[in-house]
Structure 1
Amino acid sequence: MAASGFGDPTVSWSILLRADLRAAADPGAVGRGLAQACARYPHLGPPPAVEQAEDLACPRARFAELPYADGEPRVRAAVSTNEPALLIAAHHGACDGLGLLALLGAALDIQVTSGATGVGDRPSAESFVRSAARRVNEALFHPPARVEPTPTGQAGELLLTHQEPRTAWGTGVLTAAAATAVAAWNRRHHGHPTPLVAAVGVSRRGGDNIAPRDESAFLRLPIPRDADSADIRARLAEQAPEPQFPSSPGMLTTLGTRLLGHRLGSSFLVSNLGPVSTSDDVRALAFHPAASGRSAVAFGAVTVADTTTLTLRVRARDFHRDSAAELLSGLVTELRDPIGHR
């Protein structure tokens, strides 16, 4: 599969993981660890050069936005020279979120696991062709609500993070909170009242058996206006995964994705790496899933040690930094104090 050929061809499909450490990582050791992983898993491509930067914000933006070219590494890494921190990115067609955790383990030579359970071999309910036809019909006649933008005309992406004391928010709770926060956002910004559709990134494997591969699936979940966390958890437990996007999608599929990209997909995506167990060297993690679909709005979550980190990833052309921060703040507020408990 070409590095750029994964789902929406207008998206970089780069996923990122930042690790805040207790001691500075050695760039040489990080490079050797990732080179060993690339040798063991050839689909990752050539081993990456490990960059060094005072501030990881610059490589983070570049890693997020730059497409992966054929023949080049599908893994990227940078080490901060100003603080003990490490950044790892990968093309989502080669590695999923749990795979990033495996790369973190390889880079630091530590054991890493997650409490994520995965969906195992839960089958899709229909073929890709049938699903694509249904999605085109939806895009043409009744597209899901998008997260109402605050247009800027700026290029690039915004990646925001927020840390909380360690919590036990599961994916169902996170999805319900995101839906409530987005619905409230749209009401404040005169968004279309069409029902929301959440995309939920999940894994086929559990977090106790991770490797730098893409074994992801995603659940596409229409959100009823009166749904609460219990409803959404129950629906997620039964929802069939969407069919796997073909490695060679063909000209018509690619053209259709480009033409209908502003109407296809979900309202937002949620991906939760769960509670992560690792060495004491890791103080905090921040996970940024790929942002695509109708809104290109992605919420991420991961917990390690005493910290749960929530993230938001959006297109800079659609959100001012202040408005993106407001949207993320809405998620935090809903998680801390669900609307049904106020």
Structure 2
Amino acid sequence: MTGSGRAWVADPGIAWRILLRATWPTPSEAPSAGSLARAQDLLHAAQGWARPEPVALGPARTLQDALATAPGESLLLGLDTDAGTLVVSGHHRHLDGLGLLAVLAAVTGLEIASDARGIGERPAAAGPLRGALARLGEALLAPPARPDARGGRPGDPGEAWAERTVLGTPRTRDLVAAVRGGPWAGRRTAVAVGVSRRAGVPAPGTLLADHSALLRLRGVERLDDAALTRALREAAPEPSPDAGGGSRVAALQRPLLRALAPRLGSTLLVSHLGVVAAPGLASLAFAPVTAGGSGLSLGAVTLHGTGTGTGTGSGTVLTLRGRAARWSDEALERLLEGLTDQLTDQTTDPR
């Protein structure tokens, strides 16, 4: 992949990789490594990207760990032939979550659609420099709350994971509302919401890019349902890390980002790919980046036509991702259990 030519102003200690994991009903229905490699060659040529890396092979969890923190900005694929599972890893500078779905469609030949609506051209809250100064002021004076960090392995550069499938179609508002209770409840709860400016999965042949935006809601514990819905509808996006201010802004911000990283960010980042139609797949899971002081992100995707026990309806996979230096799989399981317990008492948005 090639960069945009604009300065990437973001925490250099974060692996800015987002992941999509797709599983077929049986291993024999999954694509072969050879067919994936051929399709990836065509995709890279059409997008003008550099020659692709070879398709990695191995157990799905091993691939997920490795591709989540892989160096560089290349698009990476990993295939578990025994489980019929494909892992797609893209750098957030070049792709957003809906772009990962487009990549999945391109390398597998599946027809994939999402009902994600996007936020259009909603203007950003401030310029890159003003936005950075505001966030730094918050970090110094009122850093966001974060759940008690237990079970991590200091110095571990990897990631920790927890995953659950819930019935129904909880939307972004429901997931953010769930953070107000259980083990997440606390003062100064800030939730970052990853959204796209564009609606749906990019059509075949579209030049892919990162069209994401970040909404940030502070004081979530004080918002009732109506206020939370209004805040999501009206929140101005944060300035993009692909900063229009150029290298001078980047040079000013990076030392501060490094020094204040533990106090920056949000209690949790939430990103939902919407209700996805992908005939032929048994499951999908999405993992956003683990940015900010808490280093926690919640990815959600509802695969239409799946569900627990019935084989019909919709099932939503929730993936909680955290940095292994601070979190263990077991700690994330407890946090995710608390969040899904809160979801059971909510009425989901039918839209």
| Superposition TM-score, scaled by structure 1 size | 0.89
CA–CA separation in structure 1 for the residues paired with 2:199 and 2:295: 27
Q: How high is the sequence identity, in percent, across the aligned residues?
A: 35
Give CA-to-partner distance per residue, 1:127-180, whole Å, 9 cap, x none. Answer: 111111111111111111122211533412112211123x12111111111343
Aligned residues of 2:124 and 2:236 also touching (Cα < 8 A): yes
Match of 1:200, SS state, is strand
CA–CA separation in structure 2 for the residues paired with 1:219 and 1:21: 33
Query: What does residue 51 of structure 1 align with?
Result: 56
Query: What does residue 283 of structure 2 align with?
Result: 284
CA–CA separation in structure 2 for the residues paired with 1:97 and 1:217: 11
CA–CA separation in structure 2 for the residues paired with 1:294 and 1:158: 15
Query: What does residue 312 of structure 2 align with?
Result: none
- Structure 1 residue 80, shift from structure 2 partner: 1.1
Aligned residues of 1:203 and 1:217 also touching (Cα < 8 A): yes
CA–CA separation in structure 1 for the residues paired with 2:276 and 2:346: 25
Give CA-to-partner distance per residue, 1:197-234, whole Å, 9 cap, x none. Answer: 11000001001545532100000111342323332122
1:241-256 aligned at under 5 Å gives the runs: 241-245=237-241, 246=243, 248=247, 249-256=249-256
Query: Aligned pair in 2 of structure 1 residues 145, 308: CA closer, same or farther (>3 Å)?
Result: same
CA–CA separation in structure 1 for the residues paired with 2:183 and 2:135: 22
Matched, 1:231 2:227: yes
Matched, 1:323 2:322: no
- Structure 1 residue 262, shift from structure 2 partner: 0.8
Structure 2 gap ranges (5+) = 307-314
- Structure 1 residue 194, shift from structure 2 partner: 3.3
Query: What does residue 79 of structure 1 align with?
Result: 79
RMSD, matched Cα: 2.1
Match of 1:104, SS state, is helix
Q: 1:205 aligns with which of 167, 179, 198?
A: 198
- Structure 1 residue 26, shift from structure 2 partner: 1.4
Query: What does residue 46 of structure 2 align with?
Result: 40
Aligned residues of 1:147 and 1:297 also touching (Cα < 8 A): no
Query: What does residue 187 of structure 1 align with?
Result: none
Task: After the TM superposition, list the runs of 4 or more consecutive aligned residues in structure 1 that deviate by more than 4 angstroms.
Answer: 2-6
Match of 2:15, SS state, is coil
| Superposition TM-score, scaled by structure 2 size | 0.86
Query: What does residue 258 of structure 1 align with?
Result: 258
Query: What does residue 299 of structure 2 align with?
Result: 300
Which stretch shows the higher mean deviation, 223-232 or 285-294?
223-232
CA–CA separation in structure 2 for the residues paired with 1:202 and 1:173: 15
Match of 2:39, SS state, is helix
Matched, 1:19 2:19: no
1:16-165 aligned at under 5 Å gives the runs: 16-22=19-25, 23-42=29-48, 44-53=49-58, 55-68=59-72, 74-154=74-154, 155=156, 156-165=158-167
Structure 1 gap ranges (5+) = 185-192
The residue type paired with residue 26 of structure 1 is: S
Aligned residues of 2:161 and 2:329 also touching (Cα < 8 A): no
Aligned residues of 1:112 and 1:277 also touching (Cα < 8 A): yes
Match of 2:147, SS state, is coil
Provide the aligned length of Structure 1 versus Structure 2.
Answer: 323
Matched, 1:196 2:189: yes
